[in-house]
């Protein structure tokens, strides 16, 4: 059954049947026990966090932090500071970078799109230095700009010492911050995001051994979902990690993991997380936009009540097998004083799903309610005085009985 607080039960009665049909079942979704040192799993469609393990701990991000360099370059593209055809020079510092590279040299003039693919597909450390120097003049200055921009985007546990994720003191990101960054790249740059799903890039045929995208999910032939991003990372300090994204129907799941012991463990854990996220949870429309949830009493209005409705369809992510401890309540301060305008927010619908964050949905006025005329205000005042009189009379102490005559 739907459990309600005593205060909410009276006002939520009309909603009970609506939610009961959608939510009541038998068993809760099983929590995922990840082997990762830290993890964050997020359903982007419903903005629901499905898993949080040490998600706000600042850890070495390895090459996953290249996503911030890519974001900075995408912003430069959007702002018109560069175009896809803009070419950058290659410094001796960029050429000397070790680890994964595009094998650039000082005579090259790679285009912005060459460098984007080099960072995403080849995980090119040299490409990151070229971008940093091309946009900010130096990698040191670019790293400061990355940190400042991260703070502005709400990534409060990210500090950058370089553009590539090369091991460095103080170079840290949290899994939640990486997830926030992934959401941004997907939603803000749809024209460039498909590059994250490309599987091969070999600049000037120089690096066939480093031409393949390392994201293991891009090689999975799942029957009902497909992966399309984002970025792997590995150093001895960080272990193996992945910022991943996968789509099934209209749902998109983003996950971030780190601290796995091997490439094999990363691949297995990533696939298991995606399967769990898609198959243990389902998205449902709980209440349609404009469907009356309850009535709120109106003070000094032309009508005595006003309907409270959601302005948009209420779609929630719920465990595919849900126990009967789902609860819901409506909160508003009433009676609501007239005049009231249709669409004016008057309260919230709060739905509690086991093991998931509460869903808080704004409720708005269904219709206009004008202020009542003089006779209405006079009648309301009289009713209020009578209620107060009856309340005072009922609470008055009875007079003591007279003492018997002696």
123 a catalytic residue: yes
Cα–Cα distance measured from residue 396 to residue 234, given in angstroms and rounded to the nearest whole number = 77
SS3 117: helix
Nearest Cα neighbor of 130 from 90, 83, 162 is 90
Neighbouring residues of 223: CB distance < 8 A, sequence distance ≥ 6: none
Tell me, yes or no, if 63 is annotated catalytic: yes
Catalytic residue among 123, 164, 270, 327: 123
Query: What are the C-alpha distances in Å from 244 to residues 229, 280, 283, 365?
Result: 5, 18, 20, 40
* Annotated catalytic residue within 65, 66, 143, 164: 66
Upstream peptide bond of 37 is cis (omega within 30 degrees of 0): no
Whose CA is closest to 178, among 359, 33, 36, 38?
Answer: 38
A 10 A CB-CB count for 21 gives: 10
H/E stretch holding 186 reads helix 175-188
Phi-psi region of 37 (alpha: psi -120 to 50; beta: other; left: phi over 0): alpha
What three-state secondary structure class fits 115? helix
Task: Out of 63, 164, 174, 270, pick the active-site residue.
Answer: 63
**Bridging pattern class, strands 336-337 and 294-299:** parallel
> Phi-psi region for residue 54, left (φ > 0), alpha (ψ -120 to 50) or beta?
left
Q: Is 66 a catalytic residue?
A: yes
Q: How many CB atoms lie within 10 A of CB 58?
A: 17
Tokens of 308: 């409270």
Q: Catalytic residues, which ones?
A: 63, 66, 123
């Amino acid at each position: 059954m739907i459990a309600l607080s005593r205060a909410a039960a009276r006002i939520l009665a009309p909603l009970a049947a609506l939610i009961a049909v959608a939510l009541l079942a038998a068993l809760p979704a099983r929590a995922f026990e990840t082997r990762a040192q830290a993890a964050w799993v997020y359903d982007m469609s419903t903005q629901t966090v499905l898993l949080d393990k040490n998600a706000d701990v600042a850890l070495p991000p390895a090459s996953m932090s290249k996503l911030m360099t890519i974001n900075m370059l995408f912003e430069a593209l959007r702002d018109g500071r560069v175009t896809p055809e803009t070419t950058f020079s290659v410094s001796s510092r960029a050429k000397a970078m070790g680890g994964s590279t595009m094998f650039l040299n000082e005579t090259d003039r790679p285009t912005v799109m060459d460098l984007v693919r080099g960072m995403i597909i080849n995980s090119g450390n040299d490409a990151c230095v070229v971008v940093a120097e091309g946009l900010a003049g130096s990698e040191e200055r670019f790293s400061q700009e990355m940190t400042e921009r991260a703070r502005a985007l709400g990534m409060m546990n990210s500090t950058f010492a370089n553009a590539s994720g090369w091991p460095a003191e103080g170079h840290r990101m949290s899994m939640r911050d990486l997830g926030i960054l992934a959401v941004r790249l997907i939603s803000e740059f749809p024209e460039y995001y498909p590059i994250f799903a490309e599987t091969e890039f070999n600049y000037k045929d120089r690096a066939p051994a480093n031409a393949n995208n390392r994201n293991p999910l891009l090689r999975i032939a799942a029957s009902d979902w497909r992966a399309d991003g984002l970025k792997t990372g590995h150093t001895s300090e960080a272990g193996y990690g992945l910022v991943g994204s996968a789509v099934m129907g209209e749902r998109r799941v983003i996950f971030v993991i780190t601290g796995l012991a091997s490439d094999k463990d990363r691949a297995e854990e990533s696939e298991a997380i995606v399967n769990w996220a898609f198959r243990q949870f389902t998205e449902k429309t709980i209440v349609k936009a404009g469907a009356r949830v309850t009535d709120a009493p109106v003070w000094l209005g032309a009508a005595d009540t006003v309907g409270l409705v959601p302005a948009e369809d209420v779609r929630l992510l719920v465990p595919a097998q849900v126990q009967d401890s789902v609860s819901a309540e409506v909160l508003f301060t009433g009676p609501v004083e007239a005049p009231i305008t249709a669409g004016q927010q008057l309260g919230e619908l709060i739905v509690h799903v086991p093991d998931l964050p509460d869903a808080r949905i704004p409720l708005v006025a269904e219709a206009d309610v004008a202020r009542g005329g003089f006779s209405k205000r006079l009648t309301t005042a009289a009713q209020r005085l009578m209620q107060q009189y009856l309340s005072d009379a009922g609470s008055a102490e009875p007079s003591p009985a007279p003492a018997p005559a002696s």
